[in-house]
Structure 1
Amino acid sequence: MSRKWASRTIILFLIFITAMYWYLFYGADTTIPRALKGTSADPAVFLNEREQEISMEYSKIRNFLFFLSTPYEWVVYIMMLLAGVPRFFERWAKASTNKSILQNGIFLFWISALTLLVTLPLNYIGYRLSRSYNISTQTFPSWMKDELIGFWVNFGLMWIVLTVLYWLIRKYHKKWWLYAWILSVPFTLFLMFIQPVVIDPLYNDFYPLKDKQLETKILQLASKADIPAEHVYEVNMSEKTNSMNAYVNGIGSNSRIVLWDTTLEKLSDNEILFIMAHEMGHYVEKHLYFGIAGYLALSFAGLWLASGIMEFLIRRWGRTFKISSVTNLASFPLFLLIISILLFLSSPISNYVARYEEMRADTYAIKMTKDKEAGIHSFQELTRSGLSEVNPPFLVKIFRYTHPTMLERIQMLENWEEKK
């Protein structure tokens, strides 16, 4: 039975990636609508032929890697289970110590280390791709350092999750998912609170914006929007990337307005103010809190579904997966597999909501700044620096895009006077 599962898994994986390769490289239509030819949304207007060609190449390969890596992760978990690797690590952990919390840590470390080892080649390909297309400026030692930091941060957080989750599963066999969701609410809010001041600085250096005149303009814009901000932070991303970004993150007293130094280098003050007005639009319209509510709603449904699916799979194919009960630590990779699939399947919904909120923030920015040209040029520069597709394939848009396409964003600004 295990061999049948393994062979079928590999066959389905190969069929899927072959179909996605054909779709992305040959089947999808990414041409600009005739009505928009020659407008500011047409990449031929603001990119030269070589830049257009590179952008199309990079986008296709990057999108293919996304659709390759997601099911690849599922294959890794399935093969682990079929080979009995989680059961072996669980026995090893129990033989090493009598303390359950340490058993959890030992088990999780080896599962996490094996997963990192198996997925590292694809991650490295993604890194080399961005380097070859001059998106990434990061050296290999720096990239590897970030990978290891990510490993240990995730390990620490997952150790807490694993320990609490399996304590609940053993104590409340039927309703563990509900209590897990209830505990996830304060845990999620706590992580969002500490992220700007604890987690983010592990990867990059943050410091107050050096351009004090620009900071004054941004804070004046924030004051106009009734946003309680005292500082604007700059982050040194130029040592890692040539792309641009700006964001507001955190909650409560730890919320921060952050600009990448690449954004400061490549955009004018008016364009930066438009970008910051967009970010302030998220704050004013309470998108952060809607996002938290949406995440908690999805996690409620996800945990409920995961509990039922786990029970069914273990009852039906427990021997095949080398799992005798959901209470076994060996069932954790199955839990991760189910959650990953559910997240992927729900991403079109969450991405649609995110794109709606981003368009609302764009609308807020143009209303606040009344500078259409600054908005259009900033989107054109974002496209150039990130080698983004202006009009991506449909499946790429619904599964990957948390922002409207550049075609939609620039077109909205072009039509602003008419809408107004």
Structure 2
Amino acid sequence: MAAAATTFDPEAATQAYLATVKGAARVKSDGYFEGGYWLILWGAIVAILSDFIILQSRLSARFRDWATRVCKWRWLVPALYVIPYTIIGTLIMLPWTIYTCFIREKQYDLMNQSFADWALDQSKGLGVGIISAAVMFVIIFAVIRKSPKLWWLWGAVAMSAVLALTVMISPVYLAPLFNTYTEMKPGPVRDRIVAMATANHVPAEHIYVFDASKQTKRISANVSGLGPTVRISLNDNLLNRTTPAQTAAVMGHELGHYVLGHIPRMMAMFTVLFLLAFWLLSRIAPAIIARRGERWDVHGISDPAVIPLFGILATTFLFVLTPVTNTMVRINESEADAFGLEAAREPDGFAQTALAISEYRKLEPGPIEEALFFDHPSGATRIRMAMNWKAAHLAEVEAKAKAK
């Protein structure tokens, strides 16, 4: 193997791949992704301002009063509260959402939807968001009432359970609200996916294709769900815009997430974050209410009118922890990359896919930039990993190329 590797320079091969994206294409890719750095900051500021407006104007207290009048069951008041709260918050943030999620995507030629179709998807998302928030806050305030001192602990545990339930039902009940899922047609590409899945003990009775091309030009695939809802899905862009080798490389990566247990691992990691976030809420929110509660007409930590304050603190917490959460995800993605190279054994297909993703992800960031802002390995990192794998398996790769 060492002798074979000397005939192939993985770094030179990496640079050759990177050199294929240059000029206007590289400027466009870098501009899109680097602009996203600022969107993280401004998005947090806009969300905080939205919640502050709802608090400062006493809209939050009015929403609570309305929910209390309408509903005689105290436990259900938070569920009713979130209806006007979510709708008004969405309207306050609507100009920002339109710019970041529609106008900007159109400017960079990544969006395929008309504004009407985009707005319809946003409306569906709003409906899902209201129902999700209703369930979440009913649970949180029930826990606060039952355990005023340890609500942060039980609240975090409850949110972890809700997260697990959401992961389980999403592929069956939520994802189909936005896209049509159909069984992948028989053929060589499907056969190869099934072979990789079977070899790695991934359930492959059903492989779905969803019509993401009606919304975006991005390529994507996933192994989603938990337990009985686990399913393999890939979008039509992946099939239509990549070669069979690239598709196999992507699916090998996605199978890696399942085999390596990344979904339960991420849920465990987020449980730790929930614990920290809820503990901080239990310490900071009462102190703020003691100073500002009368001005906002918020009566205490068990008052649903405190929800915007929870939102402000949660947004701040998530913003500060962005590098941490990015790193958590990026480590899993890197592990799945390594698994995918072994499963698919398509290093050039993997490298070519990294180039395709460069339409919306910067290819060559600096190390600090990648650590702070990337929730996936950069294109350069991925191509270098693929070329190093190719160097270590050169005889196999060359024999396979000759067989074709």
Fold match (TM-score > 0.5): yes
Equivalent residue letter for 2:78: N
Residue 382 of structure 2 is matched in structure 1 by: 409
CA distance in 2, matches of 1:315, 1:341: 20
1:114 maps to which of 88, 95, 106 = 88
Aligned-pair distance for 1:120?
1.0
| Pairs within 5 Å for 1:20-419 | 40-41=14-15, 45-101=19-75, 103-126=77-100, 127-384=102-359, 387-392=360-365, 397-417=370-390
Aligned-pair distance for 1:40?
3.6
CA distance in 1, matches of 2:356, 2:278: 41
Residue 3 of structure 2 is matched in structure 1 by: none
Describe the shift of the 1:394–1:83 C-alpha distance in structure 2 as closer, same or farther (beyond 3 A).
Answer: farther
What is the CA deviation profile of residues 190-223 of structure 1, one whole-angstrom value per residue up to 9, with x for unaligned ones? 2111110001101110111125331111001111
Equivalent residue letter for 1:89: F
CA contact (8 A) 1:263 1:272 kept: yes
Aligned-pair distance for 1:175?
1.4
Question: Which of structures 1 and 2 has the larger relative contact order (alpha carbons within 8 angstroms, sep 6+)?
Answer: 2
CA contact (8 A) 2:184 2:207 kept: yes
Gap regions ≥5 residues in structure 2 = 1-9, 394-404
CA distance in 2, matches of 1:44, 1:173: 56
What is the CA deviation profile of residues 284-315 of structure 1, one whole-angstrom value per residue up to 9, with x for unaligned ones? 21111211111112112211121111122212
Instruction: Quote the RMSD (CA, aligned, Å).
Output: 2.3
CA distance in 1, matches of 2:90, 2:369: 26
Local SS of the residue matching 1:233:
strand
Describe the shift of the 1:74–1:37 C-alpha distance in structure 2 as closer, same or farther (beyond 3 A).
Answer: farther
CA contact (8 A) 1:244 1:260 kept: yes
What is the CA deviation profile of residues 66-87 of structure 1, one whole-angstrom value per residue up to 9, with x for unaligned ones? 3211221012212322222211
Aligned-pair distance for 1:101?
4.9
Equivalent residue letter for 2:190: E
CA distance in 1, matches of 2:283, 2:79: 26
Local SS of the residue matching 1:248:
strand
What is the CA deviation profile of residues 346-398 of structure 1, one whole-angstrom value per residue up to 9, with x for unaligned ones? 232222122112111111122223322111111111213xx321134677644
Describe the shift of the 1:169–1:102 C-alpha distance in structure 2 as closer, same or farther (beyond 3 A).
Answer: closer
Describe the shift of the 1:344–1:312 C-alpha distance in structure 2 as closer, same or farther (beyond 3 A).
Answer: same
CA contact (8 A) 1:208 1:231 kept: yes
TM-score of the two chains, using structure 1 as the length reference: 0.85
CA contact (8 A) 1:44 1:52 kept: no
TM-score of the two chains, using structure 2 as the length reference: 0.88
What is the CA deviation profile of residues 235-254 of structure 1, one whole-angstrom value per residue up to 9, with x for unaligned ones? 00111111111111101121
Aligned-pair distance for 1:43?
7.3
Aligned-pair distance for 1:103?
3.4
Counting matched residue pairs gives 384
CA distance in 2, matches of 1:326, 1:102: 16
CA distance in 2, matches of 1:403, 1:366: 16
Describe the shift of the 1:150–1:362 C-alpha distance in structure 2 as closer, same or farther (beyond 3 A).
Answer: same
Local SS of the residue matching 2:216:
coil
CA distance in 2, matches of 1:403, 1:42: 22
